[in-house]
Structure 1
Amino acid sequence: MTLPAGSGGSGGSEGSGWERSRDAFTGAARWFARTAAQVGDRWGAPGLGEWDVRALVGHTSRSLLTVEAYLQRPAAAVDVGSAAGYFLATREVAAGPGVAQRGREAGAALGDDPAAAVARTAERVLALVGARGGAELLTTVAGGMRLADYLPTRTFELTVHTADLCAALGVPARVPAAAALQSLHLVAELAVADDRAAPLLLTATGRGAPPAGFSVL
């Protein structure tokens, strides 16, 4: 299914749409930093799958670091025009064996005080995003994208993996409203793109469990 440019909840690069997208990213980034601050001495505890908590936090921190890195790599043209299109284009990469190792490496790179490193990174990247208008072209792993279309993918990753972190720590997952709305919008777009809207709707409305292995990613 072809998705229109600017979909994925970004609302384009001007006016209130960009402001909402930026606010969603800000809420997700700061929620992640607050949750990382609750880890204490549990960095070696089970996190997600083969990751311990440090590796899960490291992987999640990459959602901030890639924004910073990609802003330094301007693109000449738009290759992917939406947040949903990004996830559709990167499925093979996301399922590859390198993801787990990159998460472990990112966790190790957080150093002796991972929570402080996360907090510093979040505020540094939020300052970078706050100074942009959303129309900037950047080079992602999927190709050229507008910042306004790429940023919701990072909000989604921050939101989902901070919820994972909350589960690992046994603390309530209180998702910031703007981040939750944008992430759920993206889930809906991906479900529609793959003709998986029915099982998503049935599961969300209490009409049975999802099919085995069901995911919109």
Structure 2
Amino acid sequence: MTLQAHAETFRRAGDHAVSVAEQIRPDQWDSPALGTWSVRTLVGHIGRSFTTVIDYSSRPADQLEVTDSAQYYLVIAPMLTDSTQIDARAVQAGLALGERPLDTLRELRDRAVAVLNSEDRAIQTIAGGMRLSDYLPTRIFELGVHSIDLARAIGAPQALPPDIADSILALSVAVAQRRGDSQELLCALTGRGALAPDYSIV
């Protein structure tokens, strides 16, 4: 897919995430959301899908080290084992939303969409240099999956727009294939087995 196609799906995923956040009641911001995270912390983490696009877009990469979206998740997998650092970043992102968290989230979404233009440039990410068009599906993934988490936490409708769900599913299958989990996933999808209770591609 082209950068323009991914950018449009990213925009819709961002709009959907914001629309779920807009359903948070004033008394829910400190409520439990995901693991040890509060609703505010989860929304802060969602906002990082915008801030990383903004920040990485200003960091050109000299070479391409990550060739596609699936490889990105394989490269960062060892970094995801330290939950303390992940939690700390999420908490800080939640605090950075300030006194008007929804306004801040909308502003971040608008800024992220604004940096996406016709140039499919090489950007420096936490996983290494990669094309912006390859990075965006990872942000669509994060926005969509955590929109579901947020909706569940606040009692809002959980349905994702079909194109966002399709993008996440395609990337999930690609990561599972790279990890050698094709048969396990195939059996689960065809009713011939079940994934382990703690199975996750990220």
Assess same fold via TM > 0.5. yes
1:172 aligned to which of 157, 169, 175: 157
Instruction: Give 1:26's aligned residue.
Output: 11
Residue 208 of structure 1, CA deviation: 4.6
| SS at structure 1 position matched to 2:115 | helix
Give the number of equivalent residue pairs.
200
1:117 and 1:60 map into 2 onto residues whose CA distance is 12
TM-score (normalizing by structure 2): 0.94
Q: Is the 8 A contact 1:196 1:216 kept in 2?
A: no
Instruction: Give 2:70's aligned residue.
Output: 84
| SS at structure 1 position matched to 2:20 | helix
| SS at structure 1 position matched to 2:59 | coil
1:187 maps onto 2:178 in alignment: no
Residue 174 of structure 1, CA deviation: 1.9
Instruction: Give 2:94's aligned residue.
Output: 107
2:79 aligned to which of 69, 93, 98: 93
Instruction: Give 2:130's aligned residue.
Output: 145
1:110 and 1:180 map into 2 onto residues whose CA distance is 27
1:202 and 1:31 map into 2 onto residues whose CA distance is 31
Q: Is the 8 A contact 1:67 1:125 kept in 2?
A: yes
TM-score (normalizing by structure 1): 0.88
Instruction: Give 1:5's aligned residue.
Output: none
1:98 and 1:76 map into 2 onto residues whose CA distance is 28
Instruction: Give 1:157's aligned residue.
Output: 142
2:186 and 2:24 map into 1 onto residues whose CA distance is 34
Q: Is the 8 A contact 1:55 1:103 kept in 2?
A: yes
Residue ranges of structure 1 left out of the alignment (5+ in a row) = 1-10, 12-16
1:137 and 1:185 map into 2 onto residues whose CA distance is 23
| SS at structure 2 position matched to 1:90 | helix
Deviates more, 1:175-184 or 1:49-58: 175-184
Counterparts of 1:123-134 in structure 2 under 5 Å? 123-129=110-116, 131-133=117-119
Q: Is the 8 A contact 1:199 1:211 kept in 2?
A: no
C-alpha distance after superposition, 1:29-59 (max 9, x if no partner): 0001111111121110111011000001101
Instruction: Give 2:20's aligned residue.
Output: 35
| SS at structure 2 position matched to 1:139 | strand
2:18 and 2:164 map into 1 onto residues whose CA distance is 14
One-letter amino acid of the counterpart of residue 111, structure 1? G
* Fraction of identical pairs, as percent: 36
One-letter amino acid of the counterpart of residue 101, structure 2? P
Q: Is the 8 A contact 2:29 2:40 kept in 1?
A: yes
Residue 212 of structure 1, CA deviation: 3.1
| SS at structure 2 position matched to 1:47 | strand
C-alpha distance after superposition, 1:138-178 (max 9, x if no partner): 11011111101111111111111111101111111121222
Deviates more, 1:79-88 or 1:91-100: 91-100
Instruction: Give 2:41's aligned residue.
Output: 55
2:190 and 2:151 map into 1 onto residues whose CA distance is 24
Provide the alpha-carbon RMSD of the alignment.
1.3
Greater share of residues in helix: 2
Residue 127 of structure 1, CA deviation: 1.5
Residue ranges of structure 2 left out of the alignment (5+ in a row) = none
